[in-house]
Structure 1
């Protein structure tokens, strides 16, 4: 497929000097605003949605710092942000508690995230400054001044969440981790630890085994906007009734189960405090899955998945599992997702997760591939066996850096979209396509090899569709909803 070029020209004014003496003379006439220490310039899109604010904004900035060995340094955040909170003091609890505005902005969450940026930069120090680029620009214009940074880090080279391949950027097998030995570290864990410290909380302590010293395992089942009223009622009943003990050779442990509506756990610091001691998190796709990045050592995340209106199942952002060195990820069987997940299905997965913990898996995880679902394993193997596919999935062959390859047709970053060879949703594109296009084409994938791997991993059987006959094995155009 020919590369698709996205033109976004920027005008740069250049002033040239005949000599260094002329340059020095010109500099003496300038009005300078000096910013000492380390500053980090980043863009925080949609800062009223916490997962976007942290993983599209702050996390890429943190990875940039790590590439320079500056991940433990205090810095001043210089952020490009929407003007959601201009009239508020986000340090105040009442500002962070505000809800949805009349124009659809989660104002309180925006304040919480701006505070997270500020505290993260200052390593928790209350006096740390947060600089808004739009306000800084106005100050410079009104004073006819120029800005001199002591030390400025800027740019992330497509290290945002949605430009990833199999894992979050900066981690093993991510789209930018060419030197896997250098970036195969627990960068997500380091990010989580710093965020805990920034909010005045001790990060979960390191462990070498998942076997717990405590007798009661804490389980949280998190609400998801995709749940029906019946599913919510069933999960609340499960939390109330419990699932009994989980017995192993180490003895019997009990489970303390809670059903969590994150909107009722405010502000963000209280959410971190809850996660600090969680052993098992049961969650669906989307924003709720990003809480898995802050789970303690030796925990298990149960991904219950979701099916769309076409009955096509997905596990959403499972790149989070591949990026996590501290937790195991388990997945609801695909046939159960297609038929409809029941209370008994969730109960079984909780018991499975408890057994994994009590059996004692080693930490940190040495084989992150274990945290991939069947979709992730197929795409992982495709990248291993087809260099062209790997480069296409990483966006290394596209002028747009792979943006088109990660359009999230079903509404989330999903490896299942690649496996099912779904069509790109042209309605949500920032630029025009030359015509209808599937993700396999957009990502320049080896389709023949992909279909071989679907057979190898017995995808039709996993879906409960072993009798299906499609040239593509299983794909969107084949009509999965009718299988």
Structure 2
């Protein structure tokens, strides 16, 4: 809404990489500011949504790798351009499909801090009502993981420090202490005699022959470590190869053995969400706790490799 004589820049933005169309907001013009104010106060009488709202568009849920780095990450990179908002709680206006079984929405809720507002719900409730966003950020452009760069880095990962900021916020929002930062080199804060922790991530593309070769390699590496781990530090430092303990894991099984804690206090009819919401450990929390301990991640092609951004530096 503007008054006559006001000049606005071209407000056109490419909101996501999945389509080439841009969004240009509709402009409503008033003869004077008093008319504009009268319309807002008396006619529109909107509900004002305080704080920062970040727009996210993602065409498919259910694949956590794409959800994180083709949906949530590029939206967050757009917010990084407006510091310090990327360090504060914000709301996600999510243009997503309805899904009653997708855990992705819980990640959106926890990562943002103020939760998500679903686009189709807003559209439904906007019929005959006005909503005003205090601050609104839209336009992730071509910042997705699938938007391949020549250096194979995540867009904005280096120049905006997006990879680290995204990783650290995810850990903090889940209540997990982030990995130790290394500023100069991969062995920073490590001793040569430390046993490195490696994980081979299961991949549906592995054949039986692949798995046999992987198991044989793991056995050889672990036997080497067992043979030398009890030697003196001086002897270990002279070894040609580092000591590595390697395990084989399935991401979907992580957290299965975790005993879900409950409380004797149940939700009341007026509770907006479960009273244990911020206290329970989710499957993704368990995955983050494991990722934080990884020195080496070994994975095959596909979305399974996308978790690499959550492992420690180096």
Q: 1 CA distance for matches of 2:21 and 2:252?
A: 38
Partner of 2:105: 114
Compute the TM-score of the two structures, normalised by the length of structure 1.
Answer: 0.48
Q: Which one of 163, 168, 175 corresponds to residue 193 of structure 1?
A: 168
* Residue 210 in structure 1 maps to residue 167 in structure 2: no
1 or 2, which has the higher helix percentage? 1
Structure 2 unpaired stretches of 5+: 1-18, 229-235, 256-282
Q: Answer yes or no: is 1:130 the counterpart of 2:111.
A: no
Q: CA deviation at 1:61?
A: 1.3
State the Cα distance separating 1:49 from its structure 2 match: 0.6
Deviation digits for residues 409-468 of structure 1 (CA, Å, limit 9, x no counterpart):
xxxxxxxxxxxxxxxxxxxxxxxxxxxxxxxxxxxxxxxxxxxxxxxxxxxxxxxxxxxx
Matched residue of 1:35: which SS?
Answer: strand
How far is 1:22 from its partner? 2.1
In structure 2, C-alpha distance between the alignment counterparts of 1:35 and 1:255, rounded to whole Å: 52
Quick one: distance in 2 between partners of 1:62 and 1:129? 14
Partners of 1:259 and 1:114 in 2: how far apart? 28
> Which residue is 1:23 aligned to?
36
Question: How far 1:157 sits from its partner (Å)?
Answer: 2.3
List per-residue Cα deviations over 1:36-65 (Å, max 9, x = no partner).
Answer: 111111113322111111111111111111
Tell me the SS of whatever aligns to 1:22: helix
Separation (CA, whole Å) in 2 of partners of 1:275 and 1:263? 13
Aligned runs of 1:253-264 on 2, under 5 Å?
253-264=242-253
Distance of 1:271 and 1:7 partners within structure 2: 35
Q: Which moved more, 1:241-250 or 1:28-37?
A: 241-250
CA contact (8 A) 2:75 2:140 kept: yes
CA deviation string 1:263-309 (max 9, x = no partner): 222422221111101111111121111111111123xxxxxxxxxxx
Q: Note if 1:295 corresponds to 2:270.
A: no
Query: In 2 relative to 1, CA 207–17 (structure 1 residues): closer, same or farther, beyond 3 Å?
Result: closer
- State the 1:7 CA deviation: 7.6
Distance (whole Å) between structure 2 residues aligned to residue 137 and residue 283 of structure 1: 41
2:126 alignment partner in structure 1: 140
CA drift of 1:238 comes to 3.6
Q: Which residue number in structure 2 is paired with residue 221 of structure 1?
A: 200
- Which residue of structure 2 lines up, in the alignment, with residue 316 of structure 1? none
Structure 1 gaps of 5+ residues are: 1-5, 86-106, 123-127, 173-182, 299-483
Q: Give the Å deviation of 1:34.
A: 1.2
- TM-score, structure 2 normalization: 0.72
RCO (CA 8 Å, sep 6+): is it higher in 1 or 2? Answer: 2
> Which residue does the alignment assign to 1:150?
134
Q: C-alpha root-mean-square deviation of aligned residues, in Å?
A: 2.5
Show the counterpart of 1:170.
156
**C-alpha spacing 1:170/1:13, structure 2 compared with 1 (3 Å):** closer
The verdict on how the C-alpha distance between 1:74 and 1:29 changes in structure 2, with shifts beyond 3 A counting, is: same
Residues 16 and 50 of structure 1, relative CA distance in 2, 3 Å threshold? same
> 2: CA distance between counterparts of 1:59 and 1:155?
12
Partner Cα distance (2:211, 2:59) in 1: 31
- CA displacement at 1:139 relative to structure 2: 1.8
3-state DSSP of counterpart to 1:150: strand
Which residue does 2:70 correspond to in 1?
A: 56
Q: Structure 1 residue 257: deviation in Å? A: 1.0
Paired residues of 2:90 and 2:115 also in contact (CA < 8 A): no
Provide the C-alpha distance between the structure 2 equivalents of 1:68 and 1:13, rounded to a whole number of angstroms: 24
| Residues 404-419 of structure 1 mapped to structure 2, 5 A cutoff | none
The question of whether the paired residues in 2 share the 8 Å contact of 1:45 and 1:56 is answered with no
Query: 1:192-241 CA deviation, whole Å, 9 max, x = no partner?
Result: 11111111111111234433247221110111121112212332344345
Q: Which residue of 1 aligns with 2:144?
A: 160
